[in-house]
Amino acid sequence: MNDVSTTAHNSLSRLAAATGILPAYFDVHGSEHHTAPATQRALLAAMRISVQTDADVESALAALDSGEWKRLLPPVRVQSVTDARWPIEATLPKALASHALRWTLTSERGESFAGGVAPSELTPVDEHAVEGVDYVRARFDLPPNATAVGFGYHRLELEAGDQTAAMSLVIAPPRCYEPEVFASNGRVWGPAVQLYSVRSRHNWGIGDFTDLAHIVEFAGNSGADVVALNPLHALSSVAPQHASPYNPSSRLFGNPLYIDVEAVPEFEDCPPARRIISSGDTQNKLRWMREGELVGYRITSAGKRYVLELLYQHFRKAHRGSGDKRDREFDAYLASGGEALRKHALFEAISWKLYGDGVAGAGDWRQWRAGLGDVNSREVAAFAEANKERVEFHAWLQWQFDMQLDLVAERAKASGLRIGIAGDLAIGINPGGSECWSDPSLYATAAAVGAPPDLYNTAGQNWGLPPLIPSRLREAAYEPFIATLRRNMRASGALRIDHVMGLLRLYWVPAGASADAGAYVRYPFDDLLGILALESQRNGCVVIGEDLGTVPDEARAGLARIGSLSSRPLYFEHDANGEFRPPSAYPRDAVVSVGTHDLATLKGFWVGADIDARESLYAVPQPEHRYAQEAIAGAAARRLAAAGHRSVSRRARRMVAGAGARDHALPRAHALEDPAGGYGRRFRAARAGESTGNGGRAAELAAQARPRSRGLARGRGSALGRRSDTRRASRAKRSSVRNENTLIAP
């Protein structure tokens, strides 16, 4: 390599490092993988940094360097409330460093603190010349009286001569929220529920919030303290068959499919909606949907949307503009949702207009015509003005979602659940969805989050989710991260964060590259941990980190430091000899389960269905791999049975014995129970509707959770608590209902 190419390579490596692209990583086997220059260039381009030529690299590196030196304050600083000193770094032209500085700290409550900094109080940190101007970076400490602001989101302003700047000062608690039951060294347990799979005598073939209300009530009466859920994020409403809850259109809003349409207050006073639902044809189709083996996303979505449209129109006629209580409540909801809610509702309205016009890819803004693809364009503004009612309808849907979810949270508390609902936060968003459309500049849309090759996915993984660009996140003072946490913690007593290692680093796969050709990109870990602890405390929400796979020691240590619970599925808990660990070997702060949403079910693991599924993904079968996998799986199953017999835990022994005794007792999905032994606080979860053998608690839950009545009533007489008697009508045979794409016809 000659001097020129060496210099270019060094500049590229420096630019990559400055933007967070890591030079190498170690895989699960301990082998080191270096980031190739081509991968560095591809990921830099995904961050919208031009690096086509070596001159581009040099220019980008110089711009990045000068930008940091020309700003008086960084955009944000995260500080622990327990730190003895609150240092502030300022970058000044050297000529101004000999003059006094003035600062003003305004707390989020409106309190104001001010002071000055003499030149002698500045501690130089670094010096640098940019475009012929000498700069000095210096540090000063805020005085003790300023620390009275306490933790929260504050604003610091600084004056240096004729220059002024402001930054967000985030003061964070040292640890996440810890409920009283954990503080007293207690433990909790509860079922894990995939809400979309829940069936009841009254729902529309997909679980809704009234079903969830009955589940939490039954769980509380059974001694449980938590009900864990799948993500409830908004998905593509025009293509509901794309139903993965981990590929959301937005993590800031909810999926209207979970709304119980008959619990919407307007239903009782809306004759057209009641007449439609009471019809024999509708009742026959609802019965068919409830009895079907699969979830009919499209037919359920179409039916619910039709009735919700009727209810919205009734709301407009009866309340909108009247100034009555319900009208004022909706106005307050719109105000609290702000621009984020407006943009999401606008995205939905545009999607449905294009869908109605027969436009392919109507749910993906990247396939819209140019004017609509830009959220700030004149065409989008004109559409919003001309379609105010359509936009408001989609905001109204979110209002119904939030009201019903809030009532479930209240029901959980009233039922004695000490934790309540445990929500689930997906690792990212769909690149064609509303959240990315609302501000695509935050995301590296020419890359996707994934995972390098490991024992379970030898080719690596590409999840198709665009990663946040670290520098853009910091420039936004972490507001997108804060908003996401607030939204998902709002009604939850606990929140599982999928792939929590992403707070430290994410594996980026360049567009068009294979999953093994990616690299890790680092994020401001300590800052994000501080914000996570702050939002956890403010929302009274326990944090559960899904820390499976390749987890750096730094990530484990940081998460443990703030009190995040670790995820410990039984499948992964074995020693170097392959033996399953005893209960006493589990960490104190852990959530224990048999598996997770993306691992084999216990029955599937036992009979080797996961091996069949994995082999089916290969274009060419690999018999030698299957033989090795079957040998490993067979040994694991024998060890699992042996561990169950050795365990002193009555519940753990019951789970394994039931699974081994007869095939029909094996759960079709994860049976999650706690090997209760000599360890400390922890969740243990059992999935609703599954047997754990010999009368396990999950089997009891499935057998007994048959609500006699429906509704999400706050109190007697509430419209949210009343149900139509038409559910008992038209008990036609299943064979009389045809598989149609229309649930309700006008």
Taking only the tens place, the pLDDT of each residue in 42-65 is 999 999 999 999 999 999 999 999
**pLDDT of 278 over the 60 cut:** yes
Tokens in use for 359? 């436009």
Q: Chain centroid to CA 508: how far? A: 18
Taking only the tens place, the pLDDT of each residue in 306-362 is 999 999 999 999 999 999 999 999 999 999 999 999 999 999 999 999 999 999 999
Same domain, 96 and 56: no
**Residue 486 forms part of a structural domain:** no
Contact between residue 453 and residue 462 where contact means Cβ atoms under 8 Å apart: no
**Residue 11 forms part of a structural domain:** yes
Same domain, 30 and 88: no
Same domain, 43 and 19: yes
Tell which residue, 4, 3, 19, has the closest CA to residue 60: 19
Same domain, 165 and 88: yes
Least confident of 89-103, 246-260, 385-399: 89-103
For the beta carbon of residue 31, count every other beta carbon within 10 angstroms.
8
First to last CA, the chain: 73
**Residue 270 forms part of a structural domain:** no
Taking only the tens place, the pLDDT of each residue in 693-742 is 333 443 343 334 333 344 554 432 333 333 333 333 333 333 333 333 45
Same domain, 139 and 61: no
Taking only the tens place, the pLDDT of each residue in 204-218 is 999 999 999 999 999
Taking only the tens place, the pLDDT of each residue in 415-444 is 999 999 999 999 999 999 999 999 999 999
Residue range of the domain that includes 20: 3-68
Instruction: Tell me what the mean pLDDT of segment 246-264 comes to.
Output: 98
User: Cα separation of 583 and 678, whole Å?
Assistant: 6
**Residue 310 forms part of a structural domain:** no
Taking only the tens place, the pLDDT of each residue in 629-677 is 555 566 666 666 655 544 433 332 211 212 222 232 333 333 222 323 2
**Residue 315 forms part of a structural domain:** no
Query: Is the model more confident about 606 or about 274?
Result: 274
Instruction: Tell me what the mean pLDDT of segment 378-394 comes to.
Output: 98
Q: How confident is the model at residue 610 (pLDDT cuts 50, 70, 90)?
A: confident
Same domain, 140 and 100: yes
Give the SS3 label for residue 103: strand
Same domain, 101 and 166: yes
Least confident of 26-35, 107-116, 131-140, 492-501: 26-35
Same domain, 63 and 116: no
Q: What is the pLDDT of residue 572?
A: 83
- End residue of a domain, out of 149, 172, 195: 172
- End residue of a domain, out of 156, 172, 188: 172
Same domain, 91 and 160: yes
Contact between residue 415 and residue 427 where contact means Cβ atoms under 8 Å apart: no
Encoded amino acid at 363, one letter = G
Q: Determine the Cα angle at 712 with ends 228 and 718, to 5°.
A: 160
Q: How confident is the model at residue 684 (pLDDT cuts 50, 70, 90)?
A: very low
Number of domain units in the chain: 2
Same domain, 111 and 168: yes
b/e per residue, 82-95, with b = 16+ CB within 10 A?
Answer: eeeebebebbbbee
Same domain, 64 and 88: no
Same domain, 58 and 109: no
Q: What is the pLDDT of residue 689?
A: 36
Taking only the tens place, the pLDDT of each residue in 71-86 is 999 999 999 999 888 9
**Residue 220 forms part of a structural domain:** no
- Token pair 């009604």: residue: 491
- End residue of a domain, out of 172, 192, 213: 172
Give the whole-number percent of the chain exceeding pLDDT 90.
70
**Residue 32 forms part of a structural domain:** yes
Q: Chain centroid to CA 741: how far? A: 31
Tell which residue, 581, 731, 740, 592, has the closest CA to residue 673: 592
**Bridge partner residues of 496 (DSSP):** 424, 544
**Residue 701 forms part of a structural domain:** no
**pLDDT of 126 over the 80 cut:** yes
List the CATH number of the domain containing 108.
2.60.40
**pLDDT of 382 over the 70 cut:** yes
